[in-house]
C-alpha cells in the first residue's frame, strides 16, 4: 500500500530532509571537473530530445536577434494566442513562464495552500516551492517500487482529505510512468468535491499525448495543467513553458505574475516549434527506436529498469555510485536519483539519446556491471 508521510516546514532542519535541489543537465560543471570539452560530453542526465533544436526554430531565432534591443511582450500575448488555437482552448486561460518550473513556484505562491499532497518519488520542485510559502506544510504519498512506482488513484484520493492542493507529474519524473487520462480526471473530480487544487505537471506529455487533460481544464474550477516546451523541443537553455488554468484561477495567477519573464527569443521559439509537424513525427520515431534498443540492451545486461512511457528510464544499479563516477570520467552523465524521496543510492535515470550514444552507454554499463 501507499503511505502518506506528513512533514511541516520545520523539516528543512530536521533529520528527514526535503526533496533535494540537485538536477541533471549540468554539463558546464562536468566539463570543468573532468576536463572534457562540452562538445565531448554525452548527457543522459537530462531528458532532452536527442534531435536537438528544430531547424525551423534555429532559423526563427536568427531572424529574431535584430529585435533584442526591444522589450519582449510582457505577458507573451502572441504566444498565448497561438497556444489557444493549437490546443483549442481560450487564450485567456493560458499563462506562459520561464520554463514550467517558474509556474510551479507561482502556483504555490499565489494560492498559498495550507497542506499539499505530493507523491514520492517525483519532481522535487513541487515540495520545494510549497515549503517556501509561509504556513504551508506537505504530505508525501509514497509510491512502491514493487509496483513500478505506479500511483493507486483510490488511495491518492483518500490521502487528499485535509489537503487543499495536490500535485501529479504525468508522466512521472523520474519513473516514466503515466496515469491514463480517465484516471487523472477521476482524481480531478475528487479534488473538485474536496475543494482541493489538483496541479498536473505534463512536462513530458508530448511523448505520451493520449494521457493529457489539458483540454478538460475548462470543466473544472480547481484543475491546473502545467506544460513545458523545453523537453520535447530541446529548448532547455531558452526556458519556455505554460500553464492552463480555470478562469478564476488564471486571474489570480496574473495578479501575482511578474512581466517580461519570458524573453523574446523563447517566445518566438515556442511559437515556431508548435507548428513543426515534421520534427514532431521524426522525434516520435527516433524515441521509439531508441527505447527498443535500450530495453533490449538493459535486458541483455541484466539491468533492472522501470518500464517507461517517455524518453527516460529509472534504473537500479547495485554499484550506482561507482558507475556514476566511472561514466562521468568518460564523458557520460547519468542522473543520480538518490536525492529523490522514496529512492535510494541504487537509483539512476538515463535519457534516450541517439543510437550512437545509446550504444556507448550500454557498452560502459556492461563494464560497470562486470565489476
The per-residue pLDDT for 367 is 76
Count the domains in the chain: 2
First to last CA, the chain: 35
User: How far is Cα 349 from Cα 174, in angstroms, rounded to an integer?
Assistant: 7
On the 0-12 / 13-18 / 19+ scale of CB atoms within 10 A, 273 is buried
pLDDT of residue 34: 87
Tell me the percentage of the chain whose pLDDT exceeds 70.
Answer: 92
**Residue at a domain's end among 273, 288, 322:** 273
Residue 17: what pLDDT? 44
pLDDT band at 1 (very low <50, low <70, confident <90, very high): low
Q: For residue 371, what pLDDT is reported?
A: 59
In a domain, 320, yes or no: yes
User: What CA–CA distance (Å, rounded) separates 4 from 143?
Assistant: 9
Query: Is the domain of 108 the same as that of 243?
Result: yes
Q: Looking at the structure, do residues 237 and 301 belong to the same domain, yes or no?
A: no
Examine residue 7 and state whether it is found in any structural domain, yes or no.
no
Give a yes or no: residue 60 inside a domain: no
CATH of the domain at 333: 3.90.1150.10
Among 247, 273, 299, the domain boundary falls at 273
Q: Are 141 and 204 in the same domain?
A: yes
Same domain, 222 and 81: yes
* 127, 169: one domain: yes
Same domain, 210 and 104: yes
Predicted local confidence at residue 22, as pLDDT: 65
pTM for this predicted structure = 0.93
pLDDT at 24 exceeding the cut of 90 = no
Tell me, yes or no, whether 150 and 262 share the same domain. yes
- The candidate with the shortest Cα–Cα distance to 367, out of 313, 329, 312, is 329
Q: 255 near 242, Cβ under 8 Å?
A: no
Are residues 140 and 99 part of one domain? Answer: yes
pLDDT for 128-186, tens place per residue? 999 999 999 999 999 999 999 999 999 999 999 999 999 999 999 999 999 999 999 99
Query: Does residue 217 sit in the same domain as residue 339?
Result: no
Which residues are CB-contacts of 150 (< 8 A; sequence separation ≥ 6)?
A: 143, 177
Last residue of a domain, one of 273, 289, 305: 273
Q: What pLDDT shows up at residue 9?
A: 33
Q: State yes or no: pLDDT of 47 exceeds 50.
A: yes
226-253 pLDDT, tens digit each: 999 999 999 999 999 999 999 999 999 9
Cα dist from 122 to 278, 288, 328, whole Å: 32, 24, 24
Q: Is residue 88 part of a domain?
A: yes
Asked if 124 and 191 sit in the same domain, the reply is yes
6 domain residue, yes or no: no
Q: Give the pLDDT score at 266.
A: 97
Phi then psi dihedrals of residue 234, to 5 deg: 55, 50
Q: Between vectors from CA 227 to CA 62 and to CA 89, what angle results, nearest 5°?
A: 95
Closest C-alpha among 309, 362, 308, 370 to residue 334: 362
Q: What is the pLDDT of residues 195-222, one digit of tens each?
A: 999 999 999 999 999 999 999 999 999 9
Give the residue numbers spanning the domain of 189. 69-273
- pLDDT of 327-339, one tens digit each? 999 999 999 999 9
Question: 96: which strand partners?
Answer: 242
Distance CA 173, CA 122 (A): 5
For residue 51, give every residue at least 6 positions away whose Cβ sits within 8 Å of its Cβ, in sequence order, or none: 234, 279, 282, 283, 286
91 compared with 24, residue with greater pLDDT: 91
Q: How far is CA 200 from CA 87, 142, 245, 289, 355, in A?
A: 16, 17, 11, 28, 32
pLDDT tens string 264-294: 999 999 999 999 999 999 999 999 999 999 9
Q: Give the mean model confidence (pLDDT) for residues 312-316.
A: 98
Q: Is residue 112, in this structure, part of any structural domain at all?
A: yes
Examine the domain organization and report whether 99 and 230 are in the same domain.
yes
Q: Which residue has the higher pLDDT, 371 or 10?
A: 371
Whether residue 211 sits in one domain with residue 347: no
CATH number of the domain at 128, please: 3.40.640.10
Is residue 3 included in any domain, yes or no?
no
- 55-64 helix and 264-273 helix, angle to the nearest 10 degrees: 150
179 occurs within a structural domain? yes
- pLDDT score, position 297: 98
Rg of the chain over CA atoms, in angstroms?
Answer: 20
Q: How confident is the model at residue 12 (pLDDT cuts 50, 70, 90)?
A: very low
Q: Can you tell me the distance from the alpha carbon of 66 to that of 47, in angstroms, rounded to the nearest whole number?
A: 31
Judging by beta carbons within 10 Å of its beta carbon (0-12, 13-18, 19+), is residue 76 exposed, middle or buried?
buried
Amino acid at each position: 500500500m501507499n503511505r502518506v508521510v506528513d512533514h511541516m516546514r520545520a523539516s528543512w532542519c530536521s533529520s528527514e530532509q526535503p526533496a533535494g535541489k540537485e538536477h541533471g543537465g549540468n554539463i558546464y560543471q562536468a566539463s570543468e571537473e573532468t576536463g572534457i570539452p562540452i562538445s565531448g560530453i554525452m548527457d543522459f542526465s537530462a531528458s532532452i530530445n536527442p534531435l536537438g533544436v528544430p531547424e525551423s526554430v534555429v532559423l526563427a531565432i536568427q531572424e529574431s536577434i535584430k529585435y533584442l534591443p526591444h522589450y519582449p511582450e510582457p505577458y507573451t500575448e502572441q504566444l498565448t494566442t497561438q497556444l489557444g488555437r493549437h490546443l483549442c482552448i481560450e487564450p485567456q486561460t493560458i499563462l506562459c513562464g520561464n520554463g514550467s518550473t517558474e509556474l510551479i513556484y507561482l502556483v504555490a505562491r499565489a494560492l498559498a495552500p495550507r497542506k499539499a499532497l505530493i507523491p514520492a518519488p517525483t519532481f522535487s520542485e513541487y515540495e520545494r516551492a510549497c515549503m517556501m510559502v509561509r504556513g504551508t506544510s506537505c504530505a508525501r504519498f509514497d509510491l512502491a517500487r514493487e509496483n513500478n512506482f505506479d500511483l493507486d488513484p483510490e488511495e491518492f484520493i483518500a490521502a487528499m482529505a485535509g489537503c487543499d492542493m495536490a500535485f501529479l507529474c504525468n508522466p512521472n519524473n523520474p519513473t516514466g510512468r503515466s496515469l491514463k487520462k480517465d484516471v487523472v480526471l477521476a482524481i480531478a473530480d475528487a479534488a473538485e468535491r474536496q475543494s482541493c487544487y489538483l496541479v498536473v505537471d505534463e512536462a513530458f506529455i508530448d511523448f505520451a499525448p493520449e494521457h493529457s487533460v489539458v483540454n478538460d481544464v475548462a470543466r473544472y474550477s480547481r484543475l491546473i495543467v502545467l506544460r513545458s516546451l523545453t523537453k520535447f523541443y530541446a529548448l532547455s537553455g531558452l526556458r519556455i513553458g505554460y500553464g492552463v488554468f480555470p478562469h478564476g484561477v488564471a486571474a489570480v495567477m496574473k495578479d501575482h505574475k511578474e512581466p517580461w519573464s519570458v524573453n523574446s527569443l523563447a517566445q518566438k521559439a515556442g511559437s515556431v516549434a508548435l507548428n513543426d509537424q515534421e520534427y514532431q513525427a521524426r522525434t516520435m520515431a527516433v524515441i521509439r527506436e531508441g527505447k527498443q534498443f535500450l530495453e533490449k540492451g538493459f535486458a541483455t545486461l541484466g539491468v533492472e529498469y522501470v518500464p517507461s512511457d517517455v524518453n527516460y528510464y529509472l534504473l537500479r544499479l547495485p554499484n550506482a555510485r561507482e558507475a556514476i563516477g566511472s561514466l562521468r570520467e568518460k564523458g557520460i552523465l547519468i542522473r543520480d536519483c538518490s536525492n529523490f524521496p522514496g529512492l535510494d543510492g541504487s537509483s539512476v535515470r538515463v535519457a534516450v539519446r541517439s543510437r550512437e550514444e545509446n550504444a556507448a552507454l550500454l557498452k560502459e554499463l556492461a563494464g560497470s556491471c562486470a565489476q
